[in-house]
Amino acid sequence: MVGVKQEAPTSTTSTTVKSGDWSSGRGILPARETLGPLFLMATTPAFSIVFFHVCSAMNGNFLEFAKLCINNGLLSTIYNVWPNPWDPIVWKMIGSFMIFELFLQRCMPGKEFKATITAGGNVPVYKANGMASYVTTILTLLVLTYMDIIRPALVYDKMGEIISSMNVFALSFCTMLLIKGHVAPTNSDSGSNGNIVIDFYWGMELMPRIFGFDVKMFTNCRSGMMFWAVGIICFAHKNMELNDGVLNIGMAVNVTLQLIYITKFFYWEMGYMCSMDIQHDRAGYYICWGCLVWVPSVYTSHSFYLAGHAPEISPLTAAAIFVFGVAMVWINYDSDNQRYVFRQSGGECIIWGRKPNKIIAEYTTANGEIKKSLLLLDGWWKISRHFHYMPEILASLCWGLPALNTAVVGPYFYTFYLTILLVDRAFRDDDRCRRKYGKYWDKYCAEVPNLIVPYVL
């Protein structure tokens, strides 16, 4: 989930992908080995701070920040705007949140779920309690607020320190994962690429577990996605504080649309555990730093901006944005759910009123076993091979639209970033599937020729 999606090298001793290895795929962005990861690791922590500072103190004006850098020097300017990473109040907030989410991940009841088989032949098993944990988290936040035990707007006030502190935590966490991958890997979906930069950036293990906790379920779902929901609710409280207890209508639309999207995510969490983020991207800087730092700082940026800068919009404009946004979230969910139900039922389901067309494809795992998989040729997936990315991008646009034309960076940066991320991911996944399925994927592409947008891409 970090800013630029790149190709993850495989678990071989080289960053060159071996013939027959389908654990990753090539996207469209350049510098995918040592130089790209080095550049991202050197710049993204600083960018998370600079981005926050520009949105919070400069009304999203990067030109003003550039002038500051010219006058005072780049490094000096970044040093001066970098918030204190050792604020004890902030570490108490972070620690309380993480311990609570770990408790829910372990103790909240849920059915056992077996995800799809990995390239190494392993079948991950999860406890499906994401929705229960999400509802419990939101209700706990609301109850503690109602009882005046916490002040949610403090998250807004301390957001800079939170991002700074999470950079420290995430970098330390990724270092620990690197060491664990070398000395105590969880299973056979692990190994070094022979390059410490690649090992740190992409990770050593596909699905590491620590004391029985699945690392990527925690970083991706229970930390990153859960804070997304908690954070924007706290920003809404700040908006009310600034407006004499009244929530701005644009802020209400922004937060409600995102909560619908996030609720959809946790309802569908086990589907996500079968997705590319979990099944093919390892637990390293890219995934773990991204979910621990990038998601809180960038995915919530439009809400952070609107908390202090939301313009007045008409009820009609708000309603139009809301209805279109809900439609996009529903289409995104329905397309994902079609594929999930199709896979879980072995193709024995009804899609758009009929039994779906499919291709039965064969592939070979890393240990030489021949397996079969089903490729869906109906519903939304007949329109394009990654149709679900279109409504997701359009939904993200609706989250920023309540800001109208008051700024570009604060309310709309996430949409720009998401478009680049998902287009590159589509190319990556397409290449990975071609390696995995071979002639069957060629047949699938002949049936569904469009990658994302029909007649465009």
Output the DSSP codes for 172-222. HHHHHHHHHHHH--SSSSB---S-HHHHHHH-SBSS-EETTEEHHIIIIII
Chain position carrying tokens 């389901």: 349
Q: What is the pLDDT of residue 58?
A: 87
Query: Does 8 score more than 50 pLDDT?
Result: no
The pLDDT tens digits of the residues spanning 77-116 come to: 999 999 999 999 999 999 999 999 999 999 999 999 998 8
Paired strand residues for 359: 375
Average pLDDT value for residue range 40-60: 92
Q: What is the pLDDT of residue 435?
A: 87
Detail the DSSP E strand segments found in 46-172.
Answer: 111-114, 125-128
Please, are residues 378 and 351 in contact by the beta-carbon 8 Å criterion? yes
Task: Estimate to the nearest angstrom the gap between the alpha carbon of 312 and the chain centroid.
Answer: 30
Q: What is the pLDDT of residue 29?
A: 54
Query: Does 284 score more than 50 pLDDT?
Result: yes
Q: What is the token pair recorded at 135?
A: 């509802």
From 85, 89, 128, select the one nearest 108 (Cα to Cα).
128
Return the percentage of the chain with pLDDT > 90, whole number.
70
Q: What is the pLDDT of residue 368?
A: 79
Average pLDDT value for residue range 352-366: 88
Q: What is the pLDDT of residue 174?
A: 97
Read off φ and ψ for residue 316, nearest 5 degrees.
-65, -45
Q: What is the pLDDT of residue 446?
A: 93
Average pLDDT value for residue range 206-211: 94
Query: Does 184 score more than 90 pLDDT?
Result: yes
Chain position carrying tokens 């690649």: 198
Q: What is the token pair recorded at 146?
A: 């109602």
Residue 26: pLDDT band (50, 70, 90) is low
Average pLDDT value for residue range 220-225: 96
